[in-house]
Amino acid sequence: MKLTYLIGFMMSIVTLSANNEVKNKDAVVKSEFIYLQNDVPFPSCHASTIVETNEGMVAAWFGGTHEKHPDVGIWLSRNTGDEWTTPIEVANGIQHSGLRYPTWNPVLFNYGDELFLFYKIGPSPQSWWGAFMTSNDNGKSWSRSIRLPEEILGPIKNKPELLSNGDLICPTSSEHNGWQVYMEFTNDRGKTWERTNPINDGVNTVAIQPSILKHPGGNLQILCRSINKKILTAWSDDNGRTWSNLEPIDLPNPNSGTDAVTLKDGRHVLVYNHIEPDSDWGNRNILNIAVSNDGLNWAAAALLENDEDSDGEYSYPAIIQSKDGMIHITYTWNRKMIKYVVIDPSKI
């Protein structure tokens, strides 16, 4: 790789401890649940995604009896004003009258004139496959489900990015041969696909669920969930076709999903669980926001949830910036509801 600034990974990192986060409640413009438990027929939910349309916000997640249960479908709600619509199931894993699989990890992306909903179908992350649907009316109605080609999963948890060359780069990963990260590309809205080789071996360096940050000069950075106890990062200077080795940054990861976004002002914002794990897995009862100017040095920005004295779960965040500059975040709240938070970036 031509990138030379990788040497800065372990230098001058701002450490964020669980005892001195910046709560910064002034940055929170709005905090609410997309729905209440009594309003939906499913008891459990997870893995939300959010996107902006010209009519407002659209959010989706998977919901059902519990993760992996065959009745788990993809549910969706729209916010075109001050309220979220009653969630509806827009996709499921029904194969025929006698066979239904769970669905997983929806990811929304807006081309501007067409909304895409990517998701996974299958009994487990080791054996699932990718699918997508499209909407031409900002999520009110959806096309039939289209199965992605063999070995193409689509964006695995976090949003794709549209590159200047017209490619949609989809950050993805697989779990059937260890946990490995790679990229998928389509330049014709899902008709044809390319994919890179995995950038890690899945054995010594174990990572999934990358999110993409954009840097000056067209350089790209990913931040990944891992079982190596740290958030892992890598860099690309060729539009995501090749990547540096994954390296840890000095932020903990309790084997839980993260998401990040590059703001219009050039700063980067990360949502994650700042928890030091004792083993391969850790708690998810603290949810943090950090901000960075370079993707390497991170400073505490806000504390969304802090439930240190219980086994609560606040996890799998999704983050975007809307046209008006506000930051929008959704995340799993105790596997029971999806929480929606709006952050003023001038206050972080």
Split into its structural domains, the chain has a count of: 1
d(CA 339, CA 224): 22
Residue 98 corresponds to which amino acid? G
d(CA 147, CA 128): 11
Q: What is the pLDDT of residue 2?
A: 39
> How is residue 124 annotated by DSSP?
S
Beta strands at 103-110 and 73-79: parallel, antiparallel or unpaired? unpaired
Q: What is the pLDDT of residue 140?
A: 97
Q: How many CB atoms lie within 10 A of CB 12?
A: 9
Q: Residue 323 is part of which domain span? A: 5-347
Q: Which residues contact 170 (CB under 8 A, 6 or more apart)?
A: 118, 154, 155, 160, 183, 184, 185, 186
Alpha helices, H only, 101-259: none
Contact 281, 339 (CB under 8 A): no
d(CA 263, CA 257): 20
Q: What is the pLDDT of residue 299?
A: 96
The CATH number linked to 132 is 2.120.10.10
Q: What is the pLDDT of residue 24?
A: 79
Tokens of 188: 């014709």
Which parts of the chain have pLDDT scores under 50?
Answer: 1-22
Q: What is the pLDDT of residue 157?
A: 98
